[in-house]
Structure 1
Amino acid sequence: MTTDAHPSRTPTAIDAIADRYVTTIARLDPLAATAMGLSGYDHLMTDLSPAGHQAQADAARAVLAELDAATPEDDTDRVTLAAMRERIGLDLELHEADELLGQLNNIASPVQGLRDVFDLMPTATPEHWDAVVARLEALPGAAAGVVESLRLAASRGRVAARRQVLECVAQAEQLAAEDTSFFTTFVTGPAAQAALSGAPDADGRREALARGAAAARAAYEQLATFLRDELLPLAPAEDAVGAERYRLWSRYFLGAEVDLEETYRWGLEELDRIIAEQDEVAARIAGPGATVADAIAELDKDPARVLHGTEELRRWMQETSDAAVTALRGTHFEIPDALLALECMIAPTQNGGIYYTGPSDDFSRPGRMWWSVPPGVETFTTWREKTTVYHEGVPGHHLQIAQAVYQRSTLNAWRRLGCWVSGHGEGWALYAERLMADLGFMDDPGDRLGMLDAQRMRAARVVLDIGVHLGLDRPERWGGGRWDAETAWEFLRANVNMDEGFLRFELNRYLGWPGQAPSYKVGQRLWEAARDEAAAAAVRRGQEADLKAFHARALGLGSVGLDVLRSALV
């Protein structure tokens, strides 16, 4: 399928239920609507108070009741039913455990979400900026709702660890300070100036943006004060969440239930396997007996592998991504015309993250790969990052997420836009990295070492994340004793080739977002198991295993829990 033609399907009653639920989500959570690329909600703000959380929970219960009364008409309906029951059921479990009400961490909580949504809002016209003004003006009310929810969660004994509260205080203070705030530069930046130049009442609109930015900064100042003065004294020093809470979050991020202690042991074995492969590649780069550190030193001093400045980085990302699309289209993957546009961007934030945002429902907003470059970082090495481009772009997140959005004639809106399972998404992206190596795109020893470096980090955090949160014993090879933040830091430094600032951010992320980091590597494991099982099933039917057909079938399902994926493919 190298054109925009694709099969159609008559929508069913279950599709209608799913579509209506997406509309309900958009109404109750306009921030999610913006993330999904649904128009008409960008001027609105999500109610993050306890009442807002309760309204979303009530809607979840209502749609599950509708689904219980519905009869599936085909296999697509059967997957929809299984996927919605699994996802929405877990949303309710998290709600009832006060996990959503008290959520606070350094990367994926309301402290970040209220700012990050502005990266996704359209900014090409004066009317787009009017929506920005409305949302900025609504931000203080949303922040007050966050405070109300955190207070209620605290009264029920659910307070994030001290480390996470401190991280959020620092982020809120930065967003509150006029000279460092994203909001200050956002409303006065090139996009705003270009859109408002010559527009009716341009000066009035600029003044409204300045007031909105001031209101947003004040909201973050009040949020920082609450976190520092009221919540921090209640925050426990202990980072680990314990087995019961961890199992719930692991199920949420994987869409599958796994044996955590077996997964921990597998993580250790996988780490050893990757280290052995790294050692072999290092010898190819720096000579017999060379260590991984020796090979890294050789690669880092090679001027052909160094990029200077963010614009050179962005161009290289775009060229690498475009080349992958050209090479893979029609050979290993079906890539529709609508997916050819993938924009590589330097993010307005500076926290070191690299991430993908999907296209809007109508593809007017293309899929985008973002690189958040920390202050002072001016050089980048291609050997480390080629695998990242494949992870975020094609055949990784862009092919996966945009392909689901594209399936308008076969998938309902919830399947295309409303469902995201980390283990499915991030597991696929790691699967894609390794696949590109298997297909010969990482034959250069430096690029291959970069892929292995990324895989080693993902294996290490399976071990670290489960080990810390479940309070497991460390193997003697890694120092013995029990896992905690200090031993996790030593382990991370020994296994991950990153600057200390990046690494500290990563460690805090694992400590504050239990179960999410392992979903990458465990998700890859489950994806590979699903592929192998599907191939074996084909052979049993007397058919030849077809990897390209497997990919098309699997990606055509959209993002679903990994247990649902497995049952749908076999």
Structure 2
Amino acid sequence: MTETRQKSAVDAIADEYLTKSCALDPFGATAMGIPGYDHLVTDLSPHGIEADRELTAQTLAALDAATPADDVDRVTIAAMRERLGLRLELIDSGWVYADLNNLASPLQGLRDIFDVASTATAEDWKNIASRLNLLPTSVAGYIESLRHGAALGKVPARLQVTLGIEEARQNASDESFFYSFVRGEDAVKALESAPDAEEVKAQLEKGAAAIAAAYGELADFLESELLAKAPEKDAAGRERYELASRNFLGAKIDLDETYEWGLAELARIIAEQEQIAEQLYGPGTSVDDAVANLDKDDRYILRSKDELKAWMQETSDQAIRELNGVHFDIPEPVETLECMIAPTETGGIYYTPPSDDFSRAGRMWWSVPPSVTTFNTWREKTTVYHEGVPGHHLQCAQAVYLRDTLNSWRRLACWVSGHGEGWALYAERLMEDLGYLEDPADKLGMLDGQRLRAARVVLDIGVHLEKPCPEEWGGGIWDAEKAWKFLRANVNMPEAFVRFELNRYLGWPGQAPSYKVGQRLWEQIRDTAAQSAAARGEEFSLKDFHARALALGSVGLDVLQEALAN
């Protein structure tokens, strides 16, 4: 049982910051499962961003005056200084006013927030109706920020603006998600016995029409005003990229050394894949041939989304059941993970944490494109471990659970991509070490994912820093065309998926490498801990190391290393 810890003055600063952040960002509150904000919207205008900056600066000043009561406080102060300090740098850089890409920008967030909205009761749908009708103000604020960014000379690349126009037009059309959402089965069921059902339904329809129209206005702005100002070049440049890298990793790395390491790591993984291909089908079998054979093997094929969902759930449940009490001690609320087919059709696979009170469980989502009708388990078993247990679900849901030791900001709000995604890749390799990928086909699938992540290190740093491209991949200087050929040679996925991924890397500099680089840093931290134990003459316990590391919650990787060393 977790020992209850007395709340400190530092915890009060962190909790106050979270409470005020929720008022400024109701979307964030909903994502964290914090009640009381689900009917409100986030101000995405320059005024909203400036309010964020003021709160961040005030909190940093309060931390500077605070005295830590214990080691938990010391980690909180280090983690908040790192995260909030970077937030100030990002705002002051001006690039927050050019936040537009094909995956993780306000363009998507305004829609995606409804994936985690509570939909069980009539009251939930009243909140949704309120939020829908207010959403046009968020869109207007977003347009204002993009316009402000353009005045500062901060404009997304032309490709991202073009993709944004297409997505905004879809959300504005008669086929918009918002119409199907408010007319869906969940709404009908929740409102069937509500005395004011017709009034709520009318407000939902009005809200859906309002946000669809707002998306149309956003598309018009992007097409008629921003597109002409957008640079053709995708490269972010070194200064912007270094800031983004620190933000996604919570660590400062040598980008040039990391690029060279990425090339070497990619070559190592390819060699490992080639060995397994021959193990599966005999000497001389290429990786491509092995993949083609596995994709035709009925033992590894699922033929519907229902089969996919059932297989995901079964695989996840088995991992939780067998790892619990042996390699990890998993709290009872964390034992539940729901596997879902996402309402979107982009091809992404992602995880959403449980709500603060676990009334909404942690969920693994699979967004299936219309063209995809079959699924190969040999490719995706490791994905379940990545998104579920021991990956994101164990990491995130366990942090939510630790309310007796961690303050609310550390449990719910602090997320560092390099820590989180690095842990999830680390978890994939861990499952191989624990014997869960004994089928060479499943191991080839794990390596297929690792190969993609290593390729992203090379591509992302190469393109955005405009580094020389190896002759093997086209020579000259890295650009989008060379990156496309490079990805096609290293990713065994449908072309539409690969194109989506490339567009993501081009528009979200520094994020994609955080997976593989994060894994590298996690492994270095683990190895250092093992060496330290040996130097003290102690036996190193991997289970205890994982428990200590995950008990810290998501923190920057430099903070993680320092906290575990102490």
Alignment TM-score, normalising by the size of structure 2: 0.99
Question: What is the aligned counterpart of 1:353 among 348, 354, 360?
Answer: 348
Structure 2 regions of 5+ residues with no counterpart?
none
What is the letter of the counterpart of residue 291 of structure 1? S
Q: How does 1:148-547 map to 2 (within 5 A)?
A: 148-178=144-174, 180-547=175-542
SS of 2:365's partner is strand
SS of 1:370's partner is strand
What is the letter of the counterpart of residue 63 of structure 2? L
Shift of 1:476: 2.0
Shift of 1:538: 1.6
Shift of 1:475: 1.5
* C-alpha separation in 2, matches of 1:38 and 1:508: 33
SS of 2:2's partner is coil
Q: Does 1:63 align with 2:59?
A: yes
More deviation in 535-544 or 419-428? 535-544
Shift of 1:101: 1.6
* C-alpha separation in 1, matches of 2:387 and 2:532: 30
Conserved? CA contact 1:8–1:409, under 8 Å: yes
What is the letter of the counterpart of residue 260 of structure 1? L
Shift of 1:376: 2.7
Deviations 1:435-465 (A, max 9, x none): 1011110110110000000000000000000
Shift of 1:18: 0.4
SS of 2:351's partner is strand
SS of 1:568's partner is helix
Shift of 1:363: 0.4
* C-alpha separation in 2, matches of 1:23 and 1:292: 52
Deviations 1:330-367 (A, max 9, x none): 11111010101100000000000000000000000000
Q: How does 1:10-159 map to 2 (within 5 A)?
A: 10-159=6-155
Shift of 1:541: 2.2
Deviations 1:129-179 (A, max 9, x none): 00000110011000000000000100010000000001111110000001x
What is the letter of the counterpart of residue 542 of structure 2? L
Conserved? CA contact 1:285–1:298, under 8 Å: no
* C-alpha separation in 1, matches of 2:471 and 2:47: 49
* C-alpha separation in 2, matches of 1:434 and 1:381: 20
SS of 2:17's partner is helix
* C-alpha separation in 1, matches of 2:24 and 2:534: 47
Conserved? CA contact 1:333–1:548, under 8 Å: yes
More deviation in 534-543 or 60-69? 534-543
Shift of 1:478: 1.9
What is the letter of the counterpart of residue 7 of structure 1? E
* C-alpha separation in 2, matches of 1:538 and 1:68: 34
* C-alpha separation in 2, matches of 1:14 and 1:514: 33
Structure 1 regions of 5+ residues with no counterpart?
none
What is the letter of the counterpart of residue 73 of structure 1? A
SS of 1:100's partner is helix
* C-alpha separation in 2, matches of 1:327 and 1:270: 31
* C-alpha separation in 1, matches of 2:521 and 2:181: 41
* C-alpha separation in 1, matches of 2:93 and 2:385: 37
* C-alpha separation in 2, matches of 1:323 and 1:78: 37
Conserved? CA contact 1:423–1:522, under 8 Å: yes
What is the letter of the counterpart of residue 150 of structure 1? L
Deviations 1:71-93 (A, max 9, x none): 11111111000000000000000
Alignment TM-score, normalising by the size of structure 1: 0.99
Shift of 1:542: 2.2
* C-alpha separation in 2, matches of 1:77 and 1:509: 37
What is the letter of the counterpart of residue 25 of structure 2? D
Shift of 1:208: 1.2
* C-alpha separation in 2, matches of 1:76 and 1:536: 24
* C-alpha separation in 2, matches of 1:300 and 1:470: 36
Q: How many residues align?
A: 565
* C-alpha separation in 1, matches of 2:3 and 2:542: 21
* C-alpha separation in 2, matches of 1:25 and 1:311: 39
What is the letter of the counterpart of residue 261 of structure 2? W
What is the letter of the counterpart of residue 332 of structure 1? H
Deviations 1:37-86 (A, max 9, x none): 10000001000000000000000000000000001111111100000000
* C-alpha separation in 2, matches of 1:65 and 1:218: 42
Shift of 1:479: 2.3
Shift of 1:278: 0.1
Percent identity reads 64
What is the letter of the counterpart of residue 35 of structure 2? S
Cα RMSD between the aligned structures? 0.7
Deviations 1:313-344 (A, max 9, x none): 00000000000001100111110101011000
* C-alpha separation in 2, matches of 1:267 and 1:408: 38
What is the letter of the counterpart of residue 78 of structure 1? R
* C-alpha separation in 2, matches of 1:341 and 1:546: 26
SS of 2:98's partner is coil
* C-alpha separation in 2, matches of 1:138 and 1:89: 31
